[in-house]
A and B are shown apart, each in its own frame.
Chain A
Amino acid sequence: MAAAADIDPMHQFVIEPIFGSFGHNNPFVFTNSALWTLIVLGTIWLFMFGGMKRELIPGRWQVAVEGLIAFIDDMVDVSIGPQGKAYLPWIFTAFVFLLFANLMGDMPLGIVAPAHPFSITAQFTFTGVMSIITFAIVLGVGFWKHGFGFFSLFVPKDAPFVFKIFITPIELISFLVRPFSLGLRPFIAMFAGHILLDVFGNFVVQALNSHSAGGIAITILSMLFIMFVSMIELLVAAIQAYVFAILSSLYISEAVNLH
């Protein structure tokens, strides 16, 4: 326990003011979270505007941007149907923001001390608000399109009456848990991955400081594990963005089409 007490993997998630606070007792401070949100947004702007030249023979950059849009467009088209075009902006925004934020939180810049990347999607505030927006769309569209008929979403269509009594409450609970699980999923994936990298990074430093043969072995094993986890993290960063987008479009599809 003595060695473990030195490791503080939660410190990387602390939101703290940078560049000092402006004035005394001023609640509006510029935090590291705000800085990295701006960096992520700037990167997305650069990427999107670089590919929006609309040339007849597209360059590599334009193909990349158009491919990304076509990928999400196809997914929305398959899961929602012909009415899906209206929901493409939000699904695409969520996908691109999560993808860029996840990938930029994984950047190995920790060697340069002030450039330590702050993973903004490892904060539940970000992913939770994105999940709330999705469910605001689901509830808004559902009640606007179907009125109180939206509640028939919870009743299975062709089931015997006895089944309906039991399945309807289960469906309702499942629906109520969804906003939570949708926001929790990208958050916890980034959170756990960054803790894992931090803990094993600490193992490397502590083992090197022990100056023993066993320490060297532990260092090499930890470094190999960090490389492995980093590769898994890159995969997970993309998969979590994709899963958020596809689950959002599935939930919106239920509200639009009702079964």
Chain B
Amino acid sequence: MDVASAKLIGAGLAAIGVGAASIGVGFVFGSFLQSAIRNPAASDGQQGRLYIGFAAAELLGLMAFAVAMLILFASK
């Protein structure tokens, strides 16, 4: 296998992480909505934690994306 095709396969494998992070982001917002609809009065106070969870889950997806892009474009 030559290096160019190995690069493309590696970038594709790294992109799996983006999909996995999307599951995480969906889980964060889904869980928040589930509990917020049960107790709407308490939901406003938890907005900060919601965004922390969102940022933590999203960070890993962005890192996977950045790794894929580094493999494709930055490695010579």
Contact = CB atoms under 8 A, between A and B. Distances in A.
Interface of A: 1, 4, 7-10, 75, 181, 184-185, 188-189, 191-193, 195-196, 199, 236, 239-240, 242-243, 246-247
B55 A185 contact: yes
A21 B55 CA distance: 40
B54 A195 contact: no
B4 interface: yes
A8 B69 CA distance: 10
Nearest to A78: B48
B63 A188 contact: yes
B66 A191 contact: yes
Contacts of B52: 243, 246-247
Contacts, number: 51
A133 B63 CA distance: 23
B36 interface: no
Interface in B18-75: 48, 51-52, 54-55, 58-59, 62-63, 65-66, 69, 72-74
Contact of A195 (B7, B48, B63, B69): B69
B8 interface: yes
B58 A189 contact: yes
Interface residues of B, number: 18
Interface of B: 4, 7-8, 48, 51-52, 54-55, 58-59, 62-63, 65-66, 69, 72-74
Contacts of A199: 69
A9 B48 CA distance: 33
Contacts of A195: 65-66, 69, 73
Nearest to A185: B59
A17 B33 CA distance: 49
Contacts of A236: 58
Contact of B62 (A4, A189, A239): A189
Nearest 8 pairs of A and B residues by beta carbon? A243-B55, A192-B62, A192-B66, A192-B65, A195-B69, A1-B4, A188-B62, A185-B59
